[in-house]
Amino acid sequence: MKLPVYGPRLRRVARKYFGWPSLRPGQFKPMRAVLRRKDALVVLPTGAGKSAIYQIPAVLLPGPTVVISPLLALQQDQILALNALGSPATRAVRVSSAESPAQQRAAIEEIRSGRAEFLFITPEQLSDPDRMAEVRALRPGLVAVDEAHCISAWGHDFRPDYLSIGHLIKGIGRPPVLALTATASPPVRDDIIARLQLRKPEVHVSGLDRRNLFLEVAYCPDESYRTRKLHALLDSAPPPGIIYVATRRSAEELAASLTASGYSATFYHGGLPASDRTSRQADFHADKVDIMVATSAFGMGIDKPNIRWVAHVALPGSPDAYFQEIGRAGRDDLDSRALLLWRSEDEAIQRFFSGGAPDLVEIRELAAALRDGAQTKTALKEKTGLGPRKLGSMLGLLEQVGAATAGDRNKWTVPVFAPLPAAAAEAAVDEYERQQVVQRSRTDMMRAFAETQACRTQALLAYFGEIMKSPCGHCDNCAAPATAPPAPSSAQPFRVHAKVRHEEWGPGMVMGYEEERMTVLFDEVGYKTLSVPVVVANDLLTVM
């Protein structure tokens, strides 16, 4: 067998170039896939060493490694860490809007001459045809896409600029692709694979159970009770910590209230100027402020190991977002807490955030504009008057229904046999509505997690398709055996991850069981929780 041959080589590189005495669980198998020049999708929790999965094999592979990630701050942290190692085999450079044209040329030359191995770049840079040709000429041996959930319309941090990455990778010669993320449920994983155009990828999901993280949930009948529970956490848990809220206004008001009460707190949201966001993030990272009150805009790329707790004072929109956000606590492997304080009214806020359907006239006009010939996003924006985010979302919908595609030099056009603009617009709106049905089911799953009396970690990991055979022992339900519910029934008519079909809801996958209930993820209607006795008695599901 050839499989064990990779182990000594990888461990030797880890020790020699990175100073790591051993590999962490969940790292070896995807590294092996990279060395075999296979595409791979890796889901590992925050702090589990995802970056090492491309960094170590890159030293052994021919050609440079191109790294695409969504945040310049995140890129900068990784570049500094690599360059601190002091070897050309691990040297990293960047091409982005933060560098001058001269610095960008110098970075490309370092890669070309072999003085650097890693090229960090943004999708916007690769969208330039001349830049794409430059990178293609470097003959990269690997493309690593960090925070890959950003490419998914199901992901909680969807970015339209990421939509074209699959086409951009093809434009630079289509080397093997490694997609990395800390959180991806089955529909997000499927979307990543489709949008990045991964070729028969190996999918590795492991280590999602954070044993040093204690999960707690409290239902709050009113805001006064929620405030008292939050203050009890602040008074008992050591700083620093993050409080996640639903709106920008809530962030500002809660930070002001905490400051007035004598706590060291500030706020962060996407509406702040970039300079303010940077300075507040730096203050929190340097322990100059104890509490960060923030919307979901805060967190990606936050590499702060000593966060002792994360509190949510509103129900997150999905388990994906919740898992990503609590993952910022306890990255130093010390005991930390995750507290969810929720009210029934929180769901209404999440429904509001889902927004309305795309305008039928606007998307029809966009579909018609595409028929005028291949055009860049900039040209389409000028022609239609659509903003960049709306344009990206609509192009994504049209692409999913076969009415748009990104071709040569990253110009969008109409594929052969595409539906006419009117039909394309109707199909795109229908696809949007289907996605909203699934998104609403994800909010339902978040509420089910909040209400469960069983092991919370088991419930959470089942959502992500990872089965945990025994209770975790580090959640509030496991810590209260006197009030714990009876052990789950052994009656499981279908194996976990079995493909099943419902007469009305169509095909789906069994995600897990809790007592006499089962959760099924249906392709068309999302997550549904069903009574096992009712399913069995009425033959509601059949194995596909």
Give domain status of residue 100, yes or no.
Answer: yes
Give domain status of residue 481, yes or no.
Answer: no
Same domain for 342 and 217: yes
Query: Whole-angstrom Cα distance, residue 200 to residue 194?
Result: 11
Q: Which residue matches tokens 């009770």?
A: 225
One-letter amino acid of 144: A
Give domain status of residue 438, yes or no.
Answer: yes
Give domain status of residue 307, yes or no.
Answer: yes
Label residue 4 by pLDDT band (50, 70, 90). Answer: very low
How many residues comprise the chain?
Answer: 544
110 in Cβ contact with 116 (< 8 Å): yes
Q: Which of 465 and 543 is assigned the larger pLDDT?
A: 543
- Per mean pLDDT, which range of 336-350, 365-379, 439-453, 484-498 is the poorest? 484-498
CATH number at residue 411: 1.10.10
Label residue 3 by pLDDT band (50, 70, 90). Answer: very low
Phi, psi dihedral angles at 275 (to 5 degrees): -65, -40
Query: Whole-angstrom Cα distance, residue 481 to residue 334?
Result: 24
Same domain for 343 and 228: yes
Residue 483: the pLDDT is 44
Same domain for 220 and 187: no
Label residue 259 by pLDDT band (50, 70, 90). Answer: very high
> In terms of DSSP H, where are the helices of 209-264?
223-236, 248-260
Same domain for 499 and 460: no
- Per mean pLDDT, which range of 3-7, 100-104, 184-188, 266-270 is the poorest? 3-7
DSSP state, 81?
H
Same domain for 428 and 405: yes
Q: What is the pLDDT of residues 351-385, one digit of tens each?
A: 655 556 789 999 999 999 999 888 888 889 999 99
Name the 3-class secondary structure at 226.
Answer: helix
Give domain status of residue 280, yes or no.
Answer: yes
Same domain for 266 and 317: yes
Same domain for 196 and 78: yes
| Cα 503 to the center of its chain, rounded Å | 32
pLDDT at 253 over 80: yes
pLDDT at 5 over 70: no
Q: Which residue matches tokens 């110098």?
A: 106
Query: Whole-angstrom Cα distance, residue 285 to residue 113?
Result: 36
Single residue among 465, 499, 531 that ends a domain in this structure = 465
CATH number at residue 38: 3.40.50.300
Give domain status of residue 477, yes or no.
Answer: no
Q: What are the CA-CA distances from residue 251 to residues 13, 254, 301, 325 (Å)?
A: 45, 5, 20, 16
* Domain total in the chain: 4
Parallel, antiparallel or unpaired: strands 213-219 and 336-342: parallel
Give the burial string for 369-398 (b: 16+ CB within 10 Å, else e): bbeeebbbbeebbeebebeeebbbbbbbbb
- From first CA to last CA, the distance across the chain in angstroms is 35
Same domain for 315 and 252: yes
Q: Domain span at residue 393?
A: 356-465
Q: Which residue matches tokens 């606590």?
A: 329
Same domain for 393 and 333: no
Single residue among 353, 373, 393 that ends a domain in this structure = 353
CATH number at residue 528: 2.30.30
DSSP string, 121-151: E-HHHHTSHHHHHHHHHT--SEEEESSGGGG
Q: What are the CA-CA distances from residue 37 to residues 69, 174, 343, 433 (Å)?
A: 21, 11, 48, 38
> In terms of DSSP H, where are the helices of 71-185?
72-83, 101-112, 123-126, 129-137, 165-171
Single residue among 205, 240, 269 that ends a domain in this structure = 205
User: What percentage of the chain's residues is helix, strand, coil (to nearest 5)?
Assistant: 45, 15, 40
Query: Whole-angstrom Cα distance, residue 29 to residue 207?
Result: 13
136 in Cβ contact with 130 (< 8 Å): no
Same domain for 323 and 418: no
Q: What is the pLDDT of residues 149-168, one digit of tens each?
A: 888 765 556 566 677 788 88
Ramachandran region, residue 309 (left: φ > 0; alpha: ψ -120 to 50; beta: rest): beta
Give domain status of residue 378, yes or no.
Answer: yes
Give domain status of residue 459, yes or no.
Answer: yes
Same domain for 544 and 400: no
DSSP string, 415-470: -TTPPPHHHHHHHHHHHHHHHHHHHHHHHHHHHHHHH--S-HHHHHHHHTT---SS
Same domain for 375 and 239: no
pLDDT at 481 over 70: no
Q: What are the CA-CA distances from residue 112 to residues 54, 117, 140 (Å)?
A: 20, 9, 10
511 in Cβ contact with 466 (< 8 Å): no
